[in-house]
Structure 1
Amino acid sequence: MPASSAYRPEPRFFDLGGEYGDPVRAADFPETRLRFRNDRAAATVGLETLTDAEWIAHFGRFEPLPGQPGPVAMRYHGHQFRHYNPDLGDGRGFLAGQLRETPGAQAVSDRVASDSALPGRLLDLGTKGSGTTPWSRSADGRLTLKGGVREVLAAEMLEAQGVPTSRAFSLIETGEELERGDEPSPTRSAVLVRLSHSHIRFGTFQRAAYFGRVDMVDALVEHARALYHPEVAEGDVPGFLRAVVEASARLTARWVAAGFVHGVLNTDNLNVTGESFDYGPWRFLPYYEPGFTAAYFDQTGLYAFARQPEAVFWALTQLGGALKLAADAEPLTEALNGFGPAYIRELRTAFLNRLGVKSLGEAADQRLLDTTLALLREAGEAARWEPLFHDWFGGFASSARALAGPRAKLWQGKTFDNFRYSLFEHEPDRPERLENPAFARPEPEEMLIDEVEAIWAAIAEADDWTPFHEKLARLAAIRTARHP
């Protein structure tokens, strides 16, 4: 059992005590068929040396890893589509363990932000579909295999694009037939494990505030500050909120630059580290469409593509409201007011990263952001979102490639000229990346819904996992090309 010396268990959530979660047991599944194991992620926490049998024992039957006290279902509340729900909590998942990342093995999104090696972060192993808990209400605590496949694909695509995201760690098919109202039933079942930088949600603080427990709010702030935002001074509650605001602004900007629509930005789906996780009805934009929604039940477009900054800010104000039990309102409001400027700043950086060019200063960077969005807006359905960032990655260095490619006719006209002039002001960032074969391909790697459904259809109809694994291989190639 884990043979790697890099495995460093550190179950710190339990420091908070028993009022924040409930010990639970995983379901006893009729079968455990390993469908996906993320050895690259496992190597960052010393678990890549597990045999398949050991992997299934820990992530299918949930025998505790060494040094881990056992599963706990976390307690939290939250606003769901802006309606407060005090009956939430981990209803089909639990915290299976916490462990330290190998120093310097930071995620792609952290490497994009800084070239310096980061100390080993505290990471969570969290489950989805592992059975009922005290917070399941009337649900069965299970996950469809299709839902697990979709989460693997979302996490891999977002990481390839430099978006802060949990990583799908394991997917095991569990041999049950599930009844669901939103997909053909019965459907196959699975249990997923994700590797995430904290499952402490905005709703975790809301629950403490709901009960008027100043002591619990104080304990949560200090716990999250010390573990995830240690640059904030002890006792500085507004400073902690400011750090969460900054991280959330960065996350939202990266979503927008990726053309990603989360779908359900409730306060229980946003965490204190600014990392996307718990993917449900996500989508990627086929083309620029501000009102594009991912969830069929989001009939008012509350969480539409262009409204995601508004949604995240609203959720942050709910977190700020919960923190009022532990700090004065004025400095908390000041911290919240930093979201807008931080988001614009991070959006400029996100678009620079996606285009593979260096910063030239605020004015020039803003000009590039504005002209890029103008080009996408004008092209509309004629130009998909992702190809622009593929064709023009590296700026001037990609001119010949882009103008000889399949979209050459799109790259003309006044709006394009404005974009090109703005882009060419900026020097390529590590232009040697263009030598990667991924950029010789005429088409970019995308994740549009038709392809997702086709990947699932092969599994559902013929148990053919080849398209799934081929897609993951292509995503790994573009991740390496953009973020070597």
Structure 2
Amino acid sequence: MQRPPFLSLAAKFADPVPPATFPQAVLRWRNQRWAGAVGLGGLTEAAWLDHFARFTPLPGNLPQPLAMRYHGHQFGTYNPDLGDGRGFLFAQLRDPAGRLLDLGTKGSGQTPWSRAGDGRLTLKGGVREILAATYLEALGVNTSKAFSLAETGEALQRNDEPSPARGSVLVRLSHSHVRFGTFQRCAYLEDRAAMADLVNYCVAEFHPSAEDPDMARKTCALLEQVAIATGKMIGQWMAAGFVHGVMNTDNFNITGETFDFGPWRFLAQSDPNFTAAYFDQNGLYRFGRQPVQGAWALQQLASALLLLADAENLAAALVPYEAAYRDSFAAHTHALLGLAPLGDAAQDIGFLQAFYGWMTDSGAGWPQTFFDWFAGAASERRAAASPQAALYAHPSFEPVRAGLMARTPLRPERLTSPYFQRAAPVSLVIEEVESLWAPIAERDDWSAFDAKTAHLEEARLAWAL
């Protein structure tokens, strides 16, 4: 790749930082599929660790890591004292389609934005991100990818994990690390020139359809594209039963990609009031509130962009969010069920209301229900043999059954895949995560983790969303 595009902005938006020096580097995870997609699949293990644990620059790429500067609303309170406190932008790459991708880190050492933090990541935290990102990708959700995880040989002190905790450094592959909070920082500093540079970069690299010679129109067009991308992402979250946990504005990026998820959860059963973060005592980011919170975050982005455009046009640019969310939720629910929507908006909405209403009222297992009824009518016999068969026999399920039967299965031959020959679906509720971690912590036994990631890959291939 030619000169990394972000270098032209680096002086205004980032600080060069040295990576931490770790006592050791033991490779625990390598995303070979994505490594191949970005031209790094041929690296030896030694070269891999050199780049992704010791952070020797990739040839012709960023000469030094860059810690990004940004602000953000954290649980509704504006914080101007943020930035990459334990991570940095390490490199920029292109995928086969020409998309610009960023390699960023987590746990790579202290930066000017670390505040009181040690800049490190626990091994358990790295394992959790691999699992969540891999499951989200399998479910067809737009997400960052866990790219590499190396154990560092450090013993870390943490309040929310048994200490000392094993240290690690994670590398993630993302389609942009530009956050809503990056724009908020420009607005806070009233730096119109920097804001214009940022808009130009985001349009050129991520939303070229927003290009316009007029800066105000370009800004509004960019906001509209970000609103649509964000709506699509949250619609996917809701169909997947994913709870992000910390929907602060510095945890949203401009390509509508799931990233920087910390205390995430996947629902075991439908519960609109389920909250992922133990410190979210008021349920601000609870599952059922995620679409509202996405809209609120976009409103903060629009407020920041008042430096370049007027309020009325920026407000108009936010209007497509709701339809993007609604359409994505409907489309992704049907996709996860392996069914074609009827194409009649009223009937499709009615089906969603019946389906999710029944899920909430019955207490049915979220992953099990989607697994049992994949391809609708083609799975009637499978569903009859499910552990939840009694729930499907109850009269309350009849409206859902009618909706499933009315829809055409999409590629029902997928039911012959090894994934659908299993007795149970892949799932990732918190109890499973803990059970996967226990043998690693106690005996350095990664076999259960390896089996889970293999099951997730099997599911990804079967769904082929």
Give the deviation of 1:9 after TM superposition: 5.9
Q: What is the letter of the counterpart of residue 364 of structure 1?
A: Q
Partner of residue 322, structure 1: 304
Give the deviation of 1:253 after TM superposition: 0.7
Structure 2 residue 12 is matched with structure 1 residue 29: no
For residue 408 of structure 2, the aligned residue among 407, 424, 427 is 427
**2:386, 2:336 → 1: CA distance?**
19
Asked if the contact 2:10–2:66 (Cα under 8 Å) also holds between the matched residues in 1, the reply is no
Residues 395-445 of structure 1: per-residue CA shift (max 9 Å, x gap): 111111111222211102333110111122211111111111211222110
**2:24, 2:418 → 1: CA distance?**
41
Q: What is the letter of the counterpart of residue 388 of structure 2?
A: R
- Summarize the alignment of residues 107-118 of structure 1 with structure 2, pairs less than 5 Å apart: none
User: Tell me, what secondary structure is at the counterpart of 2:399?
Assistant: helix
**2:259, 2:10 → 1: CA distance?**
24
Residues 29-67 of structure 1: per-residue CA shift (max 9 Å, x gap): 000000010101101101010000000000000000011
- Summarize the alignment of residues 178-197 of structure 1 with structure 2, pairs less than 5 Å apart: 178-197=156-175
Asked if the contact 1:374–1:415 (Cα under 8 Å) also holds between the matched residues in 2, the reply is no
**2:124, 2:441 → 1: CA distance?**
8
**1:170, 1:243 → 2: CA distance?**
30
Partner of residue 275, structure 2: 293
Structure 2 residue 142 is matched with structure 1 residue 160: no
**1:59, 1:261 → 2: CA distance?**
29
Partner of residue 86, structure 2: 92
The 10-residue stretch of structure 1 (403-412 or 462-471) with the greater mean CA deviation from structure 2: 403-412
Partner of residue 265, structure 2: 283
Q: Which runs of 5+ in 2 are unaligned?
A: none
- Structure 1 outlier segments of 4+, above 3 Å: none
The 10-residue stretch of structure 1 (384-393 or 356-365) with the greater mean CA deviation from structure 2: 356-365
Give the deviation of 1:367 after TM superposition: 2.2
Q: What is the letter of the counterpart of residue 462 of structure 1?
A: R
Count of matched residue positions in the alignment of Structure 1 and Structure 2: 459
Partner of residue 74, structure 2: 80
Partner of residue 114, structure 1: none
Q: What is the letter of the counterpart of residue 32 of structure 2?
A: D
**2:199, 2:270 → 1: CA distance?**
39
**1:141, 1:9 → 2: CA distance?**
31
Asked if the contact 2:153–2:166 (Cα under 8 Å) also holds between the matched residues in 1, the reply is yes
User: Tell me, what secondary structure is at the counterpart of 2:101?
Assistant: strand
The 10-residue stretch of structure 1 (84-93 or 396-405) with the greater mean CA deviation from structure 2: 396-405
Residues 49-87 of structure 1: per-residue CA shift (max 9 Å, x gap): 000000000000000001112211011110110111111
Give the deviation of 1:279 after TM superposition: 2.2
Asked if the contact 1:24–1:133 (Cα under 8 Å) also holds between the matched residues in 2, the reply is yes
- Summarize the alignment of residues 392-407 of structure 1 with structure 2, pairs less than 5 Å apart: 392-407=373-388
Asked if the contact 1:205–1:322 (Cα under 8 Å) also holds between the matched residues in 2, the reply is yes
Asked if the contact 1:371–1:415 (Cα under 8 Å) also holds between the matched residues in 2, the reply is no
Asked if the contact 1:261–1:294 (Cα under 8 Å) also holds between the matched residues in 2, the reply is yes
Structure 2 residue 358 is matched with structure 1 residue 379: no
Partner of residue 251, structure 2: 269
**1:232, 1:263 → 2: CA distance?**
31
**2:108, 2:223 → 1: CA distance?**
32
User: Tell me, what secondary structure is at the counterpart of 2:103?
Assistant: strand
The 10-residue stretch of structure 1 (428-437 or 407-416) with the greater mean CA deviation from structure 2: 407-416
Asked if the contact 1:201–1:267 (Cα under 8 Å) also holds between the matched residues in 2, the reply is yes
Asked if the contact 1:9–1:98 (Cα under 8 Å) also holds between the matched residues in 2, the reply is no
**1:473, 1:76 → 2: CA distance?**
37
- TM-score normalized by the length of structure 1: 0.93
For residue 244 of structure 1, the aligned residue among 226, 232, 238 is 226
Structure 2 residue 462 is matched with structure 1 residue 481: yes
Structure 2 residue 65 is matched with structure 1 residue 101: no
User: Tell me, what secondary structure is at the counterpart of 1:76?
Assistant: strand
Q: What is the letter of the counterpart of residue 145 of structure 1?
A: L
**1:444, 1:26 → 2: CA distance?**
40
Partner of residue 100, structure 2: 122
Asked if the contact 2:85–2:110 (Cα under 8 Å) also holds between the matched residues in 1, the reply is yes
User: Tell me, what secondary structure is at the counterpart of 1:324?
Assistant: helix
Structure 2 residue 401 is matched with structure 1 residue 416: no
Residues 333-353 of structure 1: per-residue CA shift (max 9 Å, x gap): 112232222211111111111
Residues 135-163 of structure 1: per-residue CA shift (max 9 Å, x gap): 11111100001100000000001011011
Q: What is the letter of the counterpart of residue 177 of structure 2?
A: H
Give the deviation of 1:451 after TM superposition: 0.8
- Summarize the alignment of residues 185-264 of structure 1 with structure 2, pairs less than 5 Å apart: 185-234=163-212, 235=215, 236-264=218-246
Asked if the contact 1:221–1:240 (Cα under 8 Å) also holds between the matched residues in 2, the reply is yes
- TM-score normalized by the length of structure 2: 0.97
Across the aligned residues of Structure 1 and Structure 2, the Cα RMSD in angstroms comes to 1.1
**2:280, 2:308 → 1: CA distance?**
34
Partner of residue 121, structure 2: 143
Give the deviation of 1:10 after TM superposition: 5.1
User: Tell me, what secondary structure is at the counterpart of 1:192?
Assistant: strand
Structure 2 residue 434 is matched with structure 1 residue 456: no
User: Tell me, what secondary structure is at the counterpart of 2:173?
Assistant: strand
**2:11, 2:265 → 1: CA distance?**
37
Give the deviation of 1:19 after TM superposition: 1.2
Q: What is the letter of the counterpart of residue 455 of structure 1?
A: L
Q: What is the letter of the counterpart of residue 462 of structure 2?
A: A
Instruction: Give identity over the alignment, percent.
Output: 54
**1:243, 1:447 → 2: CA distance?**
31
